[in-house]
Amino acid sequence: MTQLWPAPVADGPVRATVALPGSKSITNRALVLAALADGPSTLRAPLRSRDTELMAAALRSLGAQIQDGPDGSWLVAPAELRGPARVDCGLAGTVMRFVPPVAALGVGRIEFDGDAQARTRPLDTVLDALRSLGADITGTSLPFEVRGTGSLAGGKVTIDASASSQFVSGLLLSAPRFAEGVTVRHVGETLPSQPHIDMTVAMLRAAGVEVTDDEPETWTVAPGPIRAMDLAIEPDLSNATPFLAAAAVTGGSVTVPGWPAETTQPGAAIRDILSDMGATVTLDEAGLTVTGGGELASIDIDLREVGELTPTVAALAALASGTSRLRGIAHLRGHETDRLAALEAELNKLGGAVRQTDDGLLIEAKPLHRGVWHSYADHRMATAGAILGLRIPDVQVDDIATTGKTIPDFTGMWANMLGARA
């Protein structure tokens, strides 16, 4: 076990303004598109965290130049893609699913590996798809090797993306550079995180790529150039959720400035979730403000489109009244950890009454008590522990540093939020 972090208790309503770093999902898509583009790009206010630094390192190792700009921006200059190279995926789904198609466009041997837990995350679908589109790849999970020839035929492929939307996004992002582009069709169980696929489509179109998505669960990307971009990256709305939850569970008020009025980020769904649970949510020129009042109400919700909000919503549900039901999230068993098992185990250890269902969690709110909250190397498990600790004295979160996957200074931001209480 790593050092334990004593989660601070809020000794009153939290009142703060919390500025969030950039979106992981937008930053890592932008890095891939910029590395494949027809000229140099500028990414402004990108997220600088483990997942995005790993993405930048992966693309650099394949030849792209990614340098620091004057104001924390990233300047990306595409170059010929070539091995030999080693790509460390860490535990980042976006790196392990978005970079193999890029590598298949390069020349030479490109080895992929990642954290021990990453080796069990689903990956075969994207590797099999690439093979059927003409790539030479050994293996079905990490570690594996891509032997690039400098081009990829592309064409039509049918996949089962029920384990992760990132299989689709990964294929689409590089597809403008495949000789024939790509048509990806999803068949099989339900498709998770559709808004993340829509984000991919929107970013491709913004880069001048022709994408057709009129038919349900079928996407066609035409071959052609990817236009270089000058992109300001929005704050990460999913990472905003623990801070907004802090307002809801303490009866306080937290504002996240720079909240986009329109966005492709699925994390925006937290507005309706918190409002359904009884908090007041307003969006104005100051940003998004969540104000908590009395006790939070339970919720019955399908989180299929926003699975990454589950740990936050589970923590809220555990502190609400009544029984909450979170549905549509069987695929979370293949996230950073098996999130359904992890939430069930950790909440029950604190005295909760939580049970896994086929596709989610039943959470009966109970008085909770002190204890160690395990993070399982999962940034969102760690932040869920922090939310609980606001109300339950003496919760200790193990491996709080794992929040660095997507938030560079979570503990500092959390302390500032609590310190700002006046």
Ligand X SMILES: O=C(O)C1=C[C@@H](OP(=O)(O)O)[C@@H](O)[C@H](O)C1
Binding site residue list for phosphoenolpyruvate: 24, 93, 121, 166, 339, 380, 405
Give the count of beta carbons closer than 10 Å to the beta carbon of residue 163: 19
Whether the Cβ atoms of residue 324 and residue 298 lie closer than 8 Å to each other: yes
With CB cut-offs between 5 and 8 Å by kind, which of ligand X, ligand PEP, none does residue 194 bind? none
Task: Compute the least distance from the CB of residue 84 to ligand X, in Å.
Answer: 28
What residue ranges in 126-180 does DSSP mark as E strands?
A: 137-138, 144-149, 155-159
Task: Compute the least distance from the CB of residue 232 to ligand PEP, in Å.
Answer: 22
The verdict on 94 binding ligand PEP (CB under 6 A) reads yes
With CB cut-offs between 5 and 8 Å by kind, which of ligand PEP, ligand X, none does residue 380 bind? ligand PEP
Q: Which of 234, 236, 308, 359 binds ligand PEP (CB under 6 A)?
A: 308
Task: Compute the least distance from the CB of residue 419 to ligand PEP, in Å.
Answer: 27
Stretch of 90-98, 245-253, 262-270, 286-294 contacting ligand PEP, by CB under 6 A: 90-98
Q: Which residues are catalytic?
A: 308
Pairing of strands 4-6, 395-398: antiparallel
Stretch of 4-12, 92-100, 298-306, 381-389 contacting ligand PEP, by CB under 6 A: 92-100
Tokens 């080895």, located at residue: 111
Site residues, ligand X (CB under 6 A): 25, 93-94, 164-166, 169, 192-193, 196, 307-308, 331
- Cβ closer to ligand X: 78 or 307? 307
Q: Which of 135, 380, 396, 398 binds ligand PEP (CB under 6 A)?
A: 380
Rounded to whole angstroms, what are the CA distances from 406 to 100, 167, 304, 416? 21, 20, 21, 18
- Cβ closer to ligand X: 29 or 271? 29
223-250 burial by CB neighbour count: b if 16+ within 10 A, else e? eeebebbebebbbbbbbbbbbbbbbbbb
- Cβ closer to ligand PEP: 163 or 254? 163
Task: Compute the least distance from the CB of residue 168 to ligand X, in Å.
Answer: 9
* Partners of residue 385 on adjacent β-strands: none
Whether the ω angle into residue 176 lies within 30 degrees of 0, i.e. cis, is no
Tokens 């080693």, located at residue: 86
With CB cut-offs between 5 and 8 Å by kind, which of ligand X, ligand PEP, none does residue 196 bind? ligand X
* Partners of residue 235 on adjacent β-strands: 22
Sign of CA dihedral 333, 339, 340, 342: positive
Q: Which stretches of the chain bind ligand PEP, using CB under 6 A?
A: 92-94, 308, 335-336, 380, 406
